[in-house]
Amino acid sequence: MFPLQHISRSNSPASPNAPDNLRDCISYWWNLTADSNNAEQRIPVESDPKLRNMASADPFDSALDLLRRLDPKHTTSHLNSLIQLAPDLTEDLLSSVDQPLAVRRCPRSGREYLLCDYNRDGDSYRSPWSNEFDPPLEGGAAAAAAGSLPSDKVRAMEVRANEAFDMYRELYYEGGVSSVYFWNLDDGFAGVVLLKKEAKPGNANEGTWDSIHVFEAIDRARFTQYNLTSTVILSLSTNSHGLGDMDLSGNMTRQIEIELPAESDEQQIANIGKLVEDMELKMRNLLQEVYFGKAKDVVGDLRSVGSLSEGVREREAHREIIGSMQR
């Protein structure tokens, strides 16, 4: 019922040089997979032009490519348009395209929770706080859903994880909503950690942050293998008389794979917590760099605030000074 479409289980054998401390491990794998300038070592995501330009264009790949080009502020409406255009792709697209998370209030606990494909059954969503579907599933649907609910052991971990990430949310987001959903795998378990925060409405600066961390925890002989795919959807906008409208929106995705010892359920949750915390720190820095560094630099490449000829004269004068010093 819950296909792990976010994660491709590629076999990446552990290098003998891999460090064994967690944080170093994460940096090690991160560098190996995400930051490396060596294209051969990159995770082959769709943005790789070599993959994109392959002659046979699969409609699903084309749909994903299109979603990576069109205004990310309106991914949901583009997604709906694509589904209308190619109904065959509906399930694949809905399960692999991350959209801003919707919030609902759990009728039993009164607490807010987040909706995604992983806690959905038809038109109902399971609350992580009560473990109940809203609206409640009827007869046959309820029986069918029972088979896909996490086992008692995994549900117990899910409850702990929800408490842990609720504290994480308070410490890092100082507000917002969090939800964690787990499900069983044949050789372990999997889950999704969701966090959402909206900037206070009424402010001149508007913003929304959605984090979607999908992971698998696969049992191995002496350790657990974690495959984590994280997406952050960040929308920012501001307007004023002098500035006009400015919208800076988008999403970024990163993956890591790591092997860690996990001898107890507590250690599983601690491992997942550390992985998500480190990933979010990395991604926050990356978003900062792209949104406020790269985007601003490109504007500066398009138009120079200062005079270009003066810049040239200054550089020439500089060169002359250096030249005269060398003589």
Partner 1 sequence: MTSLETVESFVEGAPPGELADVINDIKSLTINEPEIVSQLGPAFEKYNEEQFVTVKLPGSSQKVIISSHSSLGDGRYYDVESSSSFAFDHATQKASGVQSYVLEGAQVDLVKSTLKSLSTYVKEHFPSASYGVYPIENDSKVAAIIVANKYSPNNFWNGRWRSLYIFDPSSSNLEGSIKVDVHYYEDGNVRLLTNKPITGSASSGTGAGVVKEIAAAEKKYQEELNRGFTSLSEGAFKGLRRQLPVTRQKIEWDKVASYRVGQDISGGSARR
State the nearest-atom distance from the C-beta of 288 to partner 1, in Å.
7
96 closest CA partner among 51, 48, 145, 46:
46
SS (H, E, C) 47-105: CCHHHHCCCCCCHHHHHHHHHHHCCHHHHHHHHHHHHHHCHHHHHHHHHHCCCCCEEEE
Select 1 or 85, whichever has its Cβ closest to partner 1.
85
- Long-range contact pairs involving 173-181 (C-beta distance under 8 Å, separation at least 24): 173/197, 173/209, 176/209, 177/103, 177/112, 177/113, 177/114, 178/114, 179/113, 179/114, 179/119, 179/128, 180/128, 181/116, 181/118, 181/119, 181/126, 181/128
Amino acid letter, 235: S
Select 10 or 81, whichever has its Cβ closest to partner 1.
81
Select 137 or 180, whichever has its Cβ closest to partner 1.
180
State the nearest-atom distance from the C-beta of 17 to partner 1, in Å.
25
Contact present, 180 and 158 (Cβ < 8 Å) = yes
Select 121 or 166, whichever has its Cβ closest to partner 1.
166
State the nearest-atom distance from the C-beta of 196 to partner 1, in Å.
10
Select 142 or 156, whichever has its Cβ closest to partner 1.
156
State the nearest-atom distance from the C-beta of 30 to partner 1, in Å.
12
State the nearest-atom distance from the C-beta of 117 to partner 1, in Å.
20
> What residue ranges in the chain does DSSP mark as E strands?
102-105, 112-115, 120-121, 124-126, 133-134, 177-185, 188-198, 205-219, 224-240, 244-260
State the nearest-atom distance from the C-beta of 32 to partner 1, in Å.
15
Select 17 or 84, whichever has its Cβ closest to partner 1.
84
